[in-house]
């Protein structure tokens, strides 16, 4: 029993010795990153097309997650009954919208356009309401 306790103490101590500097390094990097402006080079045509294709596939495969997202968001904003009924209906509408955006992105894959839907992926900002923007705007900016 004494050997097991000794092993656990050594394991925990070595874990603290190894990971404490790493955690502090990450926090200092984040603090430095917050003070600087990160400028990325513009994406090439092939990178824009690849991003658009992956975005289309992600929207098509995760569109059904709009239903629980809308139910949770609506339930947090109102009562239980309206959260289930209204959130379910809103989720169906957003699911169809996200599916439509995915199909549109696949059909217009060779044309580098900006995304129609915001947030770009459903998991980007789960608390943000799904909105739709301008259609077929050419992507001229750097990401």
Can you tell me the mean pLDDT for 47-67? 89
CA distances from 57 to 12, 78, 85, 88, 109 (A): 43, 33, 28, 23, 11
Per-residue confidence band for 11, with pLDDT thresholds at 50, 70 and 90:
low
What pLDDT is attached to residue 36?
Answer: 60
Q: What is the pLDDT of residues 87-114, one digit of tens each?
A: 999 999 999 999 999 999 899 988 888 8
Per-residue confidence band for 20, with pLDDT thresholds at 50, 70 and 90:
low
Specify the residue for token string 């990097």. 29
The structural domains of the chain, with segments of one domain joined by +, span 1-38, 45-132
Proportion of the chain above pLDDT 70, given as a percent: 75
Say how far apart CA 102 and CA 59 lie, in whole Å: 5
């Amino acid at each position: 029993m004494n050997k097991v306790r000794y092993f656990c103490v050594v394991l925990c101590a070595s874990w603290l010795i190894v990971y404490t500097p790493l955690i502090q390094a990450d926090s200092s990097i984040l603090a430095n990153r917050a003070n600087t402006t990160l400028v990325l080079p513009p994406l090439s045509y092939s990178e824009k097309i690849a991003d658009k294709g992956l975005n289309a596939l992600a929207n098509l495969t995760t569109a059904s997650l709009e239903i629980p997202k809308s139910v949770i968001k609506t339930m947090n904003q109102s009562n239980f009954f309206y959260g289930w009924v209204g959130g379910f209906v809103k989720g169906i509408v957003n699911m169809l919208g996200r599916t439509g955006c995915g199909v549109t992105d696949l059909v217009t894959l060779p044309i580098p356009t900006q995304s129609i839907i915001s947030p770009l992926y459903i998991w980007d900002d789960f608390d943000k309401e799904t909105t739709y923007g301008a259609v077929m705007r050419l992507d001229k900016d750097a990401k």
